Structure 1
């Protein structure tokens, strides 16, 4: 019996997705849990697994952008023909017929849904190991693909994912620890890497011979590639060139549509406000010394700003709201989104219940979420539910800018660079440390005076940062 393959809905806000790549050829036999396609959404790129077994027959081309729930293929029995339908789904974007560049796919999926690849060539999955429950090996599609390319027996790999699920990082760690060259192949030039790292390097146009490996024996890890991407020199060389055409598909297309809709649907104004950071800088220097031998993470300047922004929202709930047809709804929870630059766009991970978290916990969560976003490991659930957003361009030397509100929120706080300022004490100049905050707010929900009061509260909290630690 033919089984429909539908474009899945990844996360609550996903409306459409792009088939970035079909991972199996037409007519191939797949088992339940095998990776069928790489799907690019507005927030993440993810491998989609088969929900049943059968012979795969796609009805949509790679590069097509389609609504969630659209029919994109069939899983058929031997000799079965695909049912007659109204035809292939109509793409909603401009990317049909051409693949789009995408970052690394996630090792996603619920624990217990993975199946081992067909290593015997007979269309049947390899016998499972004791790693899983119910006779199934718990492993992600990426982990199985990397293991297959490197000739690694997944039964020997320790899983660190949910429920003991094996993810690609586990296979990479296993390869790094195996001494023989069979399990850890070395590419031309003698640079030890895993197949996944070599694949990502090719996608990102990175010369592995120029990458400094931080793994055992100089082995190059995925984090080493991310460090190359984030370096200023690399950002410059990877910049688009004259004559390039950048398709508005996937993450880039969704960002374009949402930001355009945001400006059309809201009455957005921006306040600029200079705040003193002397006390924060001084406290952070003290924490570096006092926490040097502890497990507590030393908060960065942005972590202090995240905590101050959350506490100020508690005093000014008009900024923690959403506009609906029947009015302005003030929200109960304060869930703080913060913008993270990733190849091809931005992601906004969310720190839930930020007011209730001590500053070290905010620092720990912000770091983990940012790393997961940059490495392509973040889940859709971690990108949902922000009630207010903080975004920073201080690292790029920007003082003041006009951030655009994320749809569903009524405000967004921009953070500029830390710089020297001057305060006059009588006739004597005094050097200070300052930065400029840029608050964009929806004038339908918030007037200028309440927005200014919010900024003043943030400034007061930063002037006495010990209150931010708890």
Structure 2
């Protein structure tokens, strides 16, 4: 029986997605858990896996923008044809909560009794002869994802059977993920010359980068008159506004066109904060741990200041200002294709070290492409930091759904007068952009004054 494959709903706010790349081809036999396509959403790009088996027949083209629930393909039995005039399945109301999103297959298997795991995790576990009951899941709700299985195997290499053959040609028919293939293309690496070190001999991203390093080593010994190409966009390139880049473009234009945005600049003395953090760094170095970053302190301070100024922790819906009950701070993270804003939930209730752990985990997930849509939903306020780039002041753009965003510049030398004597200080500039429809200039300035006062008392942040 033919099974429809529809565009899955991967997050509460997801309305549409872009078919970025079909990994599998029409006519290819698909097994449970095989990667079908790379789906581009307005926040993250994800691999979509099959929850059924059969011969793939695609009906959506690469680059198409489709709504959630749209028909994108079929899984057919041997000799079966695509149903004529079949209507696409209706979008399901439930959200797919999985770190390795799967395509919704109408009429596919649904074994609710099995261990919570993604189809790809089950496939990798079967190939490596791993009992999933022994694997600790790191996905939403403790769900096991393929990375969990691979880490389990890496921790017990003796249990992994040796690869049956060396990867060659079309990598012996073995699936190579789109991220790995993209990285190989960027580095000019021939995948047919690589022996995979992943589960079952699968080629990993690190295998590609290692091969690139090995192949470039001999060339390094011989100087070349030809300048090396700079990574990233080159003169003459045409970059389509699709996927994450297109979503950023749409969201920023929408933000500026629908809000009355103004920015206040405010200088804060962080001399005591810098001193406390230096002391924490020294103590952490002795214990082998990691001290909270300056930004972790700022996120905590911003969240605490919002308690006193709830009008900044709000949104506008249907011509009404809605003050949010929770304080969830979005933290901007630069990634290869643009900018993502994962969310630290309940930031005002977390310790500074707790915020540090949360932001570190989210930043790592963002830069390795492992963020789930749920990680980027529900922000009530945002913080964007450009101090590491030497920026003093900038005008951040409010994320739609919020009424304010805080920009943080670099720490620089300043001074204050003590009588007739100048005293050296450490200062940074805070840039608060706010929606004037909801917040007037005076309340915005009061928030910055409160924030400055909180930053001047770093020990209270550690105690809070």
Q: What is the SS of the residue equivalent to 2:405?
A: strand
Is contact 1:297–1:360 with CA below 8 Å preserved after alignment? Answer: no
Q: CA deviation at 1:200?
A: 5.7
In 2, the alpha carbon distance for the partners of 1:371 and 1:223 equals: 20
Is contact 1:159–1:167 with CA below 8 Å preserved after alignment? Answer: no
Cα separation, partners in 2 of 1:365 and 1:448, compared to 1, 3 Å: same
Of 393, 396, 418, the residue aligned with 1:400 is: 393
In 1, the alpha carbon distance for the partners of 2:10 and 2:143 equals: 23
Is contact 1:38–1:45 with CA below 8 Å preserved after alignment? Answer: yes
Cα separation, partners in 2 of 1:203 and 1:255, compared to 1, 3 Å: farther
Unmatched tracts of structure 1, length 5 or more: 89-105, 114-131, 189-194, 209-218, 229-235
- Deviates further, 307-316 or 422-431: 422-431
Is 1:205 the counterpart of 2:187? The answer is yes
Q: CA deviation at 1:422?
A: 2.1
Q: What is the SS of the residue equivalent to 2:187?
A: coil
Is 1:433 the counterpart of 2:426? The answer is yes
In 1, the alpha carbon distance for the partners of 2:431 and 2:164 equals: 49
Is contact 1:176–1:184 with CA below 8 Å preserved after alignment? Answer: no
* TM-score of the pair, normalised by structure 1: 0.77
In 2, the alpha carbon distance for the partners of 1:224 and 1:57 equals: 31
Of 151, 155, 160, the residue aligned with 2:130 is: 155
Q: What is the SS of the residue equivalent to 1:165?
A: coil
In 2, the alpha carbon distance for the partners of 1:420 and 1:186 equals: 58
Is contact 2:121–2:149 with CA below 8 Å preserved after alignment? Answer: no
In 1, the alpha carbon distance for the partners of 2:207 and 2:395 equals: 31
Q: What is the SS of the residue equivalent to 1:237?
A: coil
Residue by residue over 1:404-442, the C-alpha shift from the partner in whole angstroms, topping out at 9 and shown as x without a partner, is 000000000000011111223333322111111110000
Is 1:11 the counterpart of 2:11? The answer is yes
Residue by residue over 1:287-321, the C-alpha shift from the partner in whole angstroms, topping out at 9 and shown as x without a partner, is 22344565874110000000010001110011001
Cα separation, partners in 2 of 1:418 and 1:323, compared to 1, 3 Å: same
Cα separation, partners in 2 of 1:243 and 1:184, compared to 1, 3 Å: farther
In 1, the alpha carbon distance for the partners of 2:266 and 2:184 equals: 44
Q: What is the SS of the residue equivalent to 2:392?
A: coil
Cα separation, partners in 2 of 1:136 and 1:161, compared to 1, 3 Å: closer
Matches within 5 A, 1:263-278: 263-278=256-271
Correspondence for 2:244: 251
Is 1:72 the counterpart of 2:51? The answer is no
Matches within 5 A, 1:453-468: 453-468=446-461
Is 1:167 the counterpart of 2:146? The answer is yes
Correspondence for 1:365: 358
Q: CA deviation at 1:56?
A: 1.3
Q: What is the SS of the residue equivalent to 1:355?
A: coil
Unmatched tracts of structure 2, length 5 or more: 89-97, 105-110, 169-175, 191-202, 213-228
Q: What is the SS of the residue equivalent to 2:396?
A: coil
Cα separation, partners in 2 of 1:278 and 1:171, compared to 1, 3 Å: same
Matches within 5 A, 1:343-422: 343-422=336-415
Residue by residue over 1:52-105, the C-alpha shift from the partner in whole angstroms, topping out at 9 and shown as x without a partner, is 3322110011232222221111122222221223999xxxxxxxxxxxxxxxxx
Cα separation, partners in 2 of 1:139 and 1:154, compared to 1, 3 Å: farther
Q: What is the SS of the residue equivalent to 2:348?
A: helix
- Deviates further, 196-205 or 418-427: 196-205
Is contact 2:137–2:148 with CA below 8 Å preserved after alignment? Answer: no
Cα separation, partners in 2 of 1:14 and 1:204, compared to 1, 3 Å: farther
Of 313, 325, 334, the residue aligned with 2:318 is: 325
What RMSD, in angstroms, separates the aligned Cα atoms of the two structures? 3.8
